[in-house]
Structure 1
Amino acid sequence: MLKWSTLSPIERREAVAGYLFILPWLIGFVVFFAGPILASFVLSFTSWNIVGTPEWVGLSNYERILTTDPFFKKAVSVTLRYSIFYLPLEVVCGILIAVVLNQKLRGIGLFRTMYYMPFIVPKVASSLIWVWVLNPRYGLVNTLLSKIGIMGPNWLGDPDFVLPSIMIMALWGVGGSAVIYLAGLQNIPRQLYEAATVDGADGIQKFFRITLPMLSPTIFFQLVLGLIGAFQTFTPAFVAAGRSGGPLQSGLFYMLYIYNRSFQSMRMGYGSALAWLMTLFILVITVLVFRSSNYWV
């Protein structure tokens, strides 16, 4: 990097102009990204109710979370169970839909659009639709089940069905992942399939010997994004299960618990500590996923 004193007047004017061009972005970065991150880190060591003055409490928030907070363990348990079951379903469904949409058929563009549209629908709107669809008395699902003599469950009122219901709501938008997998499929050289056909490989062998190995970088990318997204699940849980997390807190996701502590209980310091613990946990899991990629990507 050249020293300012060594620059000519023209170069100095160009440098100033360059800094002025990036100044709006820098201000936005500091105000809306770096500033809030630093503020939340500092607040995690305080007790603050938004109105008064923050009181420094050191590690008390973290100690209370990890030792005496029963809802913290419940929120972690719900989020982990959701992630363990939802992520494999998202990967499998996304790949299967992408394989179907990768066929050269008339009108395939229309089907690709139809599968992608649920992904761009606002989550609040789609969650409200699913709350109606899963209504135990007049919802579409239970109405159809009653037509064949099956009594549908209370999807969002039974603790055993709250989490599966939210998974179904999330899987409705799997078209977003399918589009990414579709892009990965279209980057696989056709010559590999032609050579496999000459060698006598059938469709299943091509899928497991060519498609999945060549698609592994895309799967890895989607797995990391899906993992982060699963831990940040909030809107479907809030709309479907309410801020309390539904019956027996069976839908009390971690982000929902952060919201409750920060904005319902007005404990911003405690909520900030919860957020930083989640950040560290996601970071550790992401690092482990990156380490495992050496064996399968």
Structure 2
Amino acid sequence: MATVPLTRRRLRVLGFLSPWLVGFAVFLLYPLVTTVYLSFTNADLLQPAEWVGTRNYVHMFTEDPYVGRSALNTLWMIAVMVPAQVLFALGVAMVLVRLKSGAGFYRTLFYLPSLAPPVAATVAFVFLFNPGTGPVNTLLDALGIQGPDWFNSPAWSKPALTLLSLWGIGNVMVIFLAALLDVPAELYEAAALDGAGPWHRFRHVTLPAISPVLLFSAVTGVIGALQYFTQAMVAAEAAGGIHSGADPGYPEGSTLTVPQWIYRTGFTQFHMGYACALAVVLFVVSMTVTVVLLRRSSGFQPQEGT
């Protein structure tokens, strides 16, 4: 049988890879390189871009007051919202996996909110948590509890967004549910025979077995928090009304995230060069955080023979 020349084999492989290579170059590599280039210009979508060097980055770190505010809000999302989502999804999955009857109904019930469009879900939550006429505060008043202002309060706007995120944890819950169902029952039986209680079984059996899923949920949750845009933007617009345009991240900048500020800078103020600089920094931060999480998680992976 004739041997295919090495060059021909390589061309054949490149031919099979060409759809992916073309898509990668057109939809990822070219936009990424263009964004980095535009971050060093004063592009405004109206006039030809002019090279300004590092002026955009200097302005970002020394003059723009919204950068620090949006960064702190995004950090809050990472430090509070992401752990809350992971823990709540894990808790719900652990309860559902132990149900003896009606498991399918309750799994569907907890999963359905994740199918709701983000804009519609956020508008509905703003209505439910309306401080004056919303059903939540009406119920709290009936119980003799003074309800907060929720999306109209700088102190409660991010907790309200966190409640919205917990309501839609269906996707993460399903992943945890699959991981818990995949843990061998023999491991729990062996641990019980050794006298391990519920906590020790969870600590030494469940957690090591589902650690890859925990890592996946944490990494995707952090990336999602760094890109948090739709819910915060819609909540500010719906709750703030005419005030939201003059006050980015209504109320008082408490819901302003980095992606929101990138959008406003690029498509509202037409400072596209500066918006690209913000996007490049966000990309670098996202990559750095992801690499750190992956490297630090290696010590929590289950070892051979455990």
Provide the secondary structure at the position in 2 that maps to 1:31: helix
Aligned length: 288
The letter of the residue matching 2:47 is: G
Q: Is the 8 A contact 1:170 1:236 kept in 2?
A: no
Distance change in 2, residues 1:285/1:25 (3 Å): closer
The letter of the residue matching 1:154 is: D
- TM-superposed CA distance for 1:235, in Å, is 0.7
Q: Deviations over 1:90-135 (max 9, x none)?
A: 1211111111121252221121122111112211111111111111
- Aligned pairs (5 A) from 1:62-77: 62-77=57-72
Distance change in 2, residues 1:157/1:174 (3 Å): same
Q: Deviations over 1:172-224 (max 9, x none)?
A: 11121111111211221111011122223232321122111222121111111
Q: Is the 8 A contact 1:45 1:58 kept in 2?
A: yes
The letter of the residue matching 1:83 is: I
Tell me the C-alpha RMSD between the 2 structures: 2.0
- Aligned pairs (5 A) from 1:104-115: 104-115=99-110
Provide the secondary structure at the position in 1 that maps to 2:150: coil
- TM-superposed CA distance for 1:26, in Å, is 4.2
> What residue in structure 2 maps to residue 274 of structure 1?
278
- TM norm structure 2: 0.88
> What residue in structure 2 maps to residue 156 of structure 1?
151
Q: Which runs of 5+ in 2 are unaligned?
A: 238-244, 302-306
The letter of the residue matching 1:103 is: R
For residues 271 and 198 of structure 1, the distance between their equivalents in structure 2, rounded to whole angstroms, comes to: 60
- Once the two structures are aligned, what percentage of the paired residues are identical? 38
> What residue in structure 2 maps to residue 50 of structure 1?
45
- TM norm structure 1: 0.91
Q: Is the 8 A contact 1:41 1:276 kept in 2?
A: yes
Q: 1:83 aligned to 2:78?
A: yes
- Aligned pairs (5 A) from 1:113-152: 113-152=108-147
For residues 95 and 218 of structure 1, the distance between their equivalents in structure 2, rounded to whole angstroms, comes to: 10
Matching residue within 205, 209, 217 for 2:204: 209
- Aligned pairs (5 A) from 1:20-59: 23-59=18-54
- Aligned pairs (5 A) from 1:128-277: 128-242=123-237, 244-277=248-281
- TM-superposed CA distance for 1:61, in Å, is 0.6
For residues 194 and 186 of structure 1, the distance between their equivalents in structure 2, rounded to whole angstroms, comes to: 15
Q: Is the 8 A contact 1:233 1:253 kept in 2?
A: yes
Worse-superposed segment, 256-265 or 279-288: 279-288
